Amino acid sequence: MLEINNVTKIYGEGSARVVALDRVSLKVEDGDFIAIMGPSGSGKSTFLNIIGGLDRLTSGEVILDGHRIDNLGENDLVDIRRGKIAYVFQQYHLLPSLTAMENVLLPLIFCGDGGDEQKVETILSRVGLGKRAEHKPSQLSGGEQQRVAIARALVSGPSLILADEPTGNMDQKTGNEILELFKELNQEGRSILMVTHSADIARQAKQIITLQDGRIISKAVQQSV
Amino acid sequence: MLEINNVTKIYGEGSARVVALDRVSLKVEDGDFIAIMGPSGSGKSTFLNIIGGLDRLTSGEVILDGHRIDNLGENDLVDIRRGKIAYVFQQYHLLPSLTAMENVLLPLIFCGDGGDEQKVETILSRVGLGKRAEHKPSQLSGGEQQRVAIARALVSGPSLILADEPTGNMDQKTGNEILELFKELNQEGRSILMVTHSADIARQAKQIITLQDGRIISKAVQQSV
Ligand SMILES: Nc1ncnc2c1ncn2[C@@H]1O[C@H](COP(=O)(O)OP(=O)(O)OP(=O)(O)O)[C@@H](O)[C@H]1O
Ligand SMILES: Nc1ncnc2c1ncn2[C@@H]1O[C@H](COP(=O)(O)OP(=O)(O)OP(=O)(O)O)[C@@H](O)[C@H]1O
Ligand SMILES: [Mg+2]
Ligand SMILES: [Mg+2]
């Protein structure tokens, strides 16, 4: 469903030049669940940002369901991604003047699904925020904000979910509940690319990819135990 | 050096009322290294925010070196805290238009220490950002931004360090290097209150406090093994 071919991303020039990704290639099939690990600064967020269309690659291609999506204009990119790819950011990017309910409703309104508040209440409960629907981001803990971002990504039923450290700001128990939710979505057939620093979380995915200095240095497929 | 006596913090009213802290008490001695754990939403950030003067308690007292600091006006609070308490925030709060070097220099300039760039370069190297001094926050990874925030907190040599999930956005190896840095500072006599979701990191502190629903539900002192 998704092909990343020989993607390189270079920031800056001269002494400030950073090769954030170095000829990275990966094929993602329908229903894949891939964990991405690697040291701080190894290129994980850059990798997801380029797939999700938030950043432009320097060379290489990204192909989603047969369409090249790395070289599109803004508007086309939104059309092709809409309803297909959803993103949980490392910095949440919640709108500070909107409540949790409104932040999660936003993609539904953009995708023309209307304002289905019942659906939003259900997913807010599933991420443990049933009582926080009316809170704004400044009235939520770090982990709670992260869960609003996750609910927002999931509410429009995307076929590919890009999650950048979705459980980074939570205790183990809440993190495990969120992981269970991702596994259910995966079992429904959605593909998941999840950056995580937690080996516990990574080993529950179907594959683990490790980045270092912008390169993929290992790919491991989980065997049944 | 620090006494937190029966502190309660209530947000909101009516159906939106949240008891974020419920009669929490803790004594911190010079040279203590206390890890604070607990589920998402249990009050950890609120606890640090009140000690650090970023938030007002509803009832109770906070006493630093014999002075009450919970009931001060803004200016007095800055004086008493200046040079004594430093804070690593859960959301970093870096200034987006300044480089890493400038962000770390700020407290030195505020504390009247002048712009000691050599000192800043040393501490940026100690947190693994030697090559990133000229990058702005948007040009840094999540873990790198967190390390700038840590460097900034440490550069003015505070006697009490409040750290809210300082290694939350990093891989294990980088997180361990940061923890080693905190241990060195603690061995120099500085007190550390560190919120963490990682049991591995918590067990390396001298004490572990656990919060749940705004209350301290356990205190454990590490024994030598
Ligand atoms: N806009 C930019 N300009 C210059 N360099 C950048 C920019 N954005 C990122 N970088 C650099 O590219 C490298 C990869 O960054 P990236 O955010 O992908 O890392 P990461 O693997 O997500 O790290 P973390 O685990 O800390 O979140 C980093 O070393 C960073 O300093
Ligand atoms: N300004 C506010 N108004 C209303 N409720 C708030 C406000 N700030 C925090 N809360 C609530 O207080 C509780 C404690 O929040 P706090 O940020 O201290 O949790 P935490 O333990 O740091 O969680 P995390 O591990 O997710 O960072 C949360 O349930 C949160 O929803
Ligand atoms: Mg990142
Ligand atoms: Mg918090």
The pLDDT tens digits of the residues spanning B4-22 come to 999 999 998 887 889 999 9
pLDDT digits (tens, 9 = 90+) for B153-193: 988 788 999 999 999 888 989 999 999 999 999 999 999 99
Q: How far, in Å, from the CA of A24 to the mean position of ligand 2?
A: 39
A45–chain B Cβ distance below 8 A for any pair: yes
Give the span between the Cα atoms of A154 and B163, in whole angstroms. 32
Query: Which residue owns the Cα nearest ligand 1 atom 6?
Result: B139
A212–chain B Cβ distance below 8 A for any pair: no
Which H or E element spans position B100?
Answer: helix B100-110
Q: By the 8 A CB rule, do A164 and A45 touch?
A: yes
| Contact: A142, B11; criterion CB under 8 Å | no
Give me the residues paired with residue A209 across strands.
Answer: A36, A219
Query: Which residue owns the Cα nearest ligand 1 atom 31?
Result: B140
Pairing of strands A2-11, A18-28: antiparallel
Neighbours of B219 (CB within 10 A): 11
A130–chain B Cβ distance below 8 A for any pair: no
Selected for mutation to probe chain B from A10, A36, A40 (highest B CB count within 10 Å) is A40
The model's confidence at residue A106, banded by pLDDT at 50, 70 and 90, is confident
Pairing of strands B59-64, B2-11: antiparallel
Quick one: tokens of B206? Answer: 């001298």
Chain A hits for B168, CB-CB cut-off 8 Å, are 142, 168-169
> Is it the case that residue A92 has pLDDT exceeding 80?
yes
Query: Which residue owns the Cα nearest ligand 2 atom 27?
Result: A142
Residue B44 Cβ inside 6 Å of ligand 2? The answer reads: yes
Q: By the 8 A CB rule, do A21 and A193 touch?
A: no
Give how far B139 is from chain A: nearest CA, Å: 9
- Which of B10, B46, B49 for mutating ligand 2's site (highest number of atoms within 8 Å of CB)? B46
pLDDT digits (tens, 9 = 90+) for B27-57: 999 999 999 999 999 999 999 999 988 889 9
| Contact: B141, A41; criterion CB under 8 Å | yes
Count of residues for chain A?
225
List, as one string, the DSSP characters of B72-86. Answer: --HHHHHHHHTTTEE
In whole angstroms, how large is the CA radius of gyration of chain A? 17
pLDDT digits (tens, 9 = 90+) for A38-83: 999 999 999 999 998 888 999 999 999 888 888 877 666 666 666 7
List, as one string, the DSSP characters of B14-45. Answer: GGG-EEEEEEEEEEE-TT-EEEEE--TTSSHH
Residue A210 Cβ inside 6 Å of ligand 1? The answer reads: no
Neighbours of A15 (CB within 10 A): 7
Q: How far, in Å, from the CA of B210 to the mean position of ligand 2?
A: 15
For chain A, percent of residues with pLDDT exceeding 90: 66
Which H or E element spans position A10?
Answer: strand A2-11
Q: What is the pLDDT of residue B77?
A: 60
Which of A44, A142, A170 lies closest to B45 in CB terms?
Answer: A142
B38–chain A Cβ distance below 8 A for any pair: yes
Quick one: tokens of A116? Answer: 């289905």
Q: How far, in Å, from the CA of A107 to the mean position of ligand 1?
A: 27
What are the helix (H) ranges across chain A? Answer: 44-51, 74-81, 100-110, 117-126, 142-154, 172-187, 199-202
